[in-house]
Structure 1
Amino acid sequence: MGQDDQAAATEALRADREVRLLIDAGRRDEANSLFDQLLSKVPPGLDPWARAAILTRRAVAAWRLRRIPLALELAAEGWSDIDAEQPHGSSAADTLGRLGYLLEGIGYRRASLEIGRIAVDVARTGDDVEILAHSLQGLGGTLNFRACEQPPDEADETFREAIPLLEEGLSLVSDGRMHLALLAAYGASLAGIGELDRAERIARETLELAKPEGNRWATSVGYWVLSTIRRKQGAPAEAIAYGRAAVEDAERTSDISLLQRYSQDLADICRESGDTAGEAQALRLNVSARRTAMETLQEGLGQALEQRRLAIRAQRLATAAQEAAARDPLTGLANRLGLESTAPGLLARAVAAHRAPWLVLIDVDWFKGVNDAAGHAAGDAALREIAQLVRAECRADDVIARWAGDEFVVLLTDSPEDNNPVGVTVAERIRAAVDRHDWTAVLGTSQRPTVSIGVATGPDTLERLFANADAALYRAKRRGRNRVEVHAAA
């Protein structure tokens, strides 16, 4: 990556961080405005993992802004860039960590935990300590949330798994947003294992650092930790007050996962203390948060399905357009393009199966006279009729095409049960069918079209088969028309 590309990537990273800071501060309108400006700006010249990292960062931002379809689209685009790549280095870890966050949000919780562990392992192969710290915080925070839903003995083990990860992260970054996120999650883990004094010191340090920066995401975690501590200490009034502060800041930052967790805990604390009104209010918030999560997921799924439907429709239209381009509109047969695109496969299969290919070239005799006498509309009707007669005398897998004007081609292969030269047999059937057909309804009584046919065979190309059949057709014309001639193999 050149210096200009590197500078563009650095600028994109700076802008993405600014969006996240605005989201964490609860400044959603400003975050949306800046985010919209970034969407069309993906620096050129990036390696796949670096590009995927930018796209997945933006997917997380879109998710936090509740722009779910866009989040899924960005995540899918980022993942498709690196689907076949072996994850290695900081950009890969960054991508995986954020994908894990999104998987957690859409309900793939087991997968999110697994991918979080992989992100940490991959981050250790890179040289960006902040991305390693971010991966450690992501895994530690996910473990904390898991522990909150487990029985006490299992929860203690899960909290203790998170602690060394968060401590390692704190040893890597000493300030900034990531330091705050690690500090907040560390306090939650300590509270979970009962180290309440240390947990309170960490929670108050988190609040002290987060408030001047306006980081409501970190303050919500800090208040939640203090609420947990007071609940364990048997001080429900303070637990409720801190719980409400945690819920309020989680609402402001549009973090539905935090809001669901905190409002449920607040409802439990209110119930334990006999505060039925507070419990009802917290449960309403919890139900509302769950409904919001469900509605946004349904919206995302609905729009994803609609996009898939449109993609399928576009694919079908493209296929139909391709088929139309290879089909003669007058007769419904394949046209020259259709024959030329189909022939190589048929010839290759014939050679592989040790079967002989045959080309039957059909030309309507004196067709100009038919047009002059009956008119072009009647001439077109006659060509359509001949196309039907040719189709009726061929097998389902034979290729039938209108080559040009009043010329038709049949490309076919013989089979083990064919005792006679199949191309000659089919050609004679077609000639006879046209000759004995009742043309009165189409052309009246004055015109009876016939056809001359040239036949060629051999393990050859379409061009050679056509040239040989054309030579045989010329002989049929010269020898009186309404007849079949076969090219004599050399």
Structure 2
Amino acid sequence: MHDTDPLLARHIPDRDREVRFLLDAGRLEESEALFDDAIAAAPNTIEPGWDRSAVLAHRAILAWRLGRVLLALELAAEAWAGVHTGRPAKAAAAHTLGMLGYLLEGHRAAAMELLSTAVRMAREAGAWETLAHCLLLEGTAYAHRALNRDDPDPVSKLARALVLFDETLSLPGGRAVRRRALAGSSRALAGLGELAQAEDRAREAVTGDGGAEDLFCASVANWTLACVRRTQGRLVEARDFAASATDLAESIRDALLTRRYSQDLAAICAELGDHVGEVSALRRAIRAGDATLQVLHAGLGQALEQHRLTAQAEQWAEAADRAATRDPLTGLVNRLGFDRRGPALLERAIANSGTPWMILFDVDRFKDINDRFGHLVGDFVLQEAGRVVQRECGPDDLLCRWAGDEFVLLLRERTDQEGPAVAERIRRAVQQHDWHSKLGGGPSPTISVGVAAGPTTLPALFTAADRALYRAKNAGRNTIAIDTSDRLVGREVGISR
């Protein structure tokens, strides 16, 4: 495998990377043949072990550069959807968003949002090679935007681009990343008037290890040298460098670079009085920026907006579902939520040979609390009891406010002895909780608890726990009782009050 970005080696299959290398080397017939053989026949098929969204975004770039615009749109939209629904690792998601931002360059707000998000996610993931790649993409976007003739503040964008490129150079990364950071920073330096340093970096980008094969970097370096010579007043040399940059960009089928370079070439030719060269360069710029880019940017922008709206609708639906399955007073799962989640929890416990335990409890003499202190205090007692019990639960246990002052707790997986132990722990936690700040010097609320295990359906388990709760109430309250079953010997645990 040829020298490539190490991030691609981590996230992109070998054959896809080979297509990219052949494109960047200007070997178009070979790249098209390999693309058709390996990718175009089944572009959405990803081998196991690779992040789907990252591979699809990379294939979208390949399809776009090879003139397969509709395929590029399809792949990019699917990659975007995968980031939202597939929950890839942060490094893979950053890589994907960075490539989508590159494709969207020209659709300004969306592109920069994706690129900056990619950098942030790469930082959070601590993936330094990924961060280098994303910084490089964002820096390139800033540099290109700064050099648009209608940009009101090019200096700040060039300075920002240089910061991003310099940070890229300071991070671990392969030779390909370093070459591109050198080439990109050279153009930013030229725009900022640092001509000597710009020329040094441009030449290093193409003379370093592997630079001869990297026509992308060679095109950027020649563009930089054209800018330097133009600023120095050496217009003939500037025209030669700009023509080389444009030829190289066309040879690797990068329409964004071709349009940018040919516009500069036309301006240099105009300064020289070379009107034939100027017209030829403008025609090249028009060809590069014509229908292909317009279709890509408009179509991809619409696709991403549609997926954004879809994702937003999904979020709203999830929020509505959460609201429907949550008790508004305590914030616990309500009866509907318990009915939806409980069966799966019970099935897991049985499948893992664990004992399914259900704990049913209610607040002792809750009506007296309401009558004495009022319903607002009664609501507080229910909220506080729920919080106290929830602190005693495991992360996968299911605690539900069933109705009124009655609560249900379904334990995920416990041994034959753990269910009663959990029940006693929550009973004691409620009894020992500091209630005086709200209730004054009166008696503190307590709970009675019914515990059951063994039945393999939720209704049977609930019936058994309810039967045990009734016995706990009859035993004097502030007590737990365990239902008798074939597996467990029923017993009551009396608590000193």
Could you say which TM-score interval applies, normalised by the shorter chain? Answer: 0.5 to 0.7
Distance 1:283 1:79 in 2: 34
Letter in 2 for 1:43: E
Q: Aligned pair in 2 of structure 1 residues 114, 297: CA closer, same or farther (>3 Å)?
A: closer
Q: Aligned pair in 2 of structure 1 residues 128, 233: CA closer, same or farther (>3 Å)?
A: same
Q: Aligned pair in 2 of structure 1 residues 135, 235: CA closer, same or farther (>3 Å)?
A: same
For 1:29, the equivalent position in structure 2 comes to 29
Letter in 1 for 2:189: L
- Shift in Å, 1:255: 0.4
Q: Secondary structure at the match of 2:290?
A: helix
Q: Aligned pair in 2 of structure 1 residues 201, 234: CA closer, same or farther (>3 Å)?
A: same
Letter in 2 for 1:21: F
Instruction: Give me the CA root mean square deviation.
Output: 2.5
Q: Aligned pair in 2 of structure 1 residues 293, 117: CA closer, same or farther (>3 Å)?
A: same
Q: Aligned pair in 2 of structure 1 residues 65, 300: CA closer, same or farther (>3 Å)?
A: farther
For 2:441, the equivalent position in structure 1 comes to none
For 1:459, the equivalent position in structure 2 comes to none
Letter in 1 for 2:239: I
- Shift in Å, 1:183: 1.2
Does the Cα contact within 8 Å between 1:210 and 1:216 map onto a contact in 2?
no
Alignment of 1:2-81 (within 5 A): 12-39=12-39, 40=42, 41-44=45-48, 50-81=51-82
Distance 1:179 1:196 in 2: 20
Distance 2:143 2:107 in 1: 17
Letter in 2 for 1:137: L
For 1:258, the equivalent position in structure 2 comes to 257
- Shift in Å, 1:128: 3.2
Distance 2:193 2:298 in 1: 41
| Partner deviation per Cα, 1:188-219 (whole Å, 9 max, x = no partner) | 11111110000000011112137754211110
Alignment of 1:277-288 (within 5 A): 277-288=276-287
Whose Rg is larger? 1
For 1:141, the equivalent position in structure 2 comes to 140
Alignment of 1:107-118 (within 5 A): 107-118=106-117
| Partner deviation per Cα, 1:174-193 (whole Å, 9 max, x = no partner) | 64222211111010111111
Q: Aligned pair in 2 of structure 1 residues 193, 19: CA closer, same or farther (>3 Å)?
A: same
Letter in 2 for 1:129: W
Q: Secondary structure at the match of 1:125?
A: helix
Alignment of 1:380-419 (within 5 A): none
- Shift in Å, 1:43: 2.0
Distance 1:284 1:123 in 2: 40
Does the Cα contact within 8 Å between 2:94 and 2:118 map onto a contact in 1?
yes
Identity %: 42
| Partner deviation per Cα, 1:425-483 (whole Å, 9 max, x = no partner) | xxxxxxxxxxxxxxxxxxxxxxxxxxxxxxxxxxxxxxxxxxxxxxxxxxxxxxxxxxx
| Partner deviation per Cα, 1:147-197 (whole Å, 9 max, x = no partner) | 001568711111001111111111124642222111110101111111000
Letter in 2 for 1:44: P
Q: Which runs of 5+ in 1 are unaligned?
A: 1-8, 305-490
Q: Aligned pair in 2 of structure 1 residues 115, 35: CA closer, same or farther (>3 Å)?
A: same
Distance 2:235 2:88 in 1: 47
Q: Secondary structure at the match of 1:124?
A: helix
- Shift in Å, 1:234: 0.9
Q: Aligned pair in 2 of structure 1 residues 94, 27: CA closer, same or farther (>3 Å)?
A: same
Q: Secondary structure at the match of 2:26?
A: coil
For 1:318, the equivalent position in structure 2 comes to none
Q: Secondary structure at the match of 1:83?
A: helix
- Shift in Å, 1:113: 1.1
Q: Aligned pair in 2 of structure 1 residues 88, 69: CA closer, same or farther (>3 Å)?
A: same
Q: Aligned pair in 2 of structure 1 residues 99, 90: CA closer, same or farther (>3 Å)?
A: same
- Shift in Å, 1:228: 0.4
Does the Cα contact within 8 Å between 1:25 and 1:253 map onto a contact in 2?
yes
For 1:102, the equivalent position in structure 2 comes to 103
Distance 2:241 2:68 in 1: 30
Count of aligned pairs: 289
Letter in 1 for 2:63: A
Distance 2:134 2:37 in 1: 27
Distance 1:110 1:299 in 2: 13
Distance 2:233 2:16 in 1: 42
For 1:273, the equivalent position in structure 2 comes to 272
For 1:437, the equivalent position in structure 2 comes to none
Q: Which runs of 5+ in 2 are unaligned?
A: 1-8, 304-497
Does the Cα contact within 8 Å between 2:146 and 2:154 map onto a contact in 1?
yes
Alignment of 1:269-418 (within 5 A): 269-291=268-290, 293-294=292-293, 297=296
Q: Which moved more, 1:52-61 or 1:171-180?
A: 171-180
Distance 1:298 1:88 in 2: 27
Distance 1:281 1:243 in 2: 13
TM-score between the two structures when normalised by the length of structure 2 = 0.54
Does the Cα contact within 8 Å between 1:88 and 1:122 map onto a contact in 2?
no
Distance 1:20 1:45 in 2: 20
TM-score between the two structures when normalised by the length of structure 1 = 0.55
- Shift in Å, 1:85: 6.1
Does the Cα contact within 8 Å between 1:211 and 1:219 map onto a contact in 2?
no
- Shift in Å, 1:279: 1.0
Distance 1:151 1:292 in 2: 22
Letter in 2 for 1:74: L
For 1:214, the equivalent position in structure 2 comes to 213
Q: Secondary structure at the match of 2:179?
A: helix
For 2:181, the equivalent position in structure 1 comes to 182
Q: Aligned pair in 2 of structure 1 residues 198, 28: CA closer, same or farther (>3 Å)?
A: same
Distance 1:147 1:163 in 2: 12
Distance 1:67 1:237 in 2: 37
Distance 2:11 2:230 in 1: 45
Letter in 1 for 2:62: A
Distance 2:227 2:210 in 1: 20
For 1:313, the equivalent position in structure 2 comes to none
| Partner deviation per Cα, 1:353-410 (whole Å, 9 max, x = no partner) | xxxxxxxxxxxxxxxxxxxxxxxxxxxxxxxxxxxxxxxxxxxxxxxxxxxxxxxxxx
Distance 1:287 1:111 in 2: 24
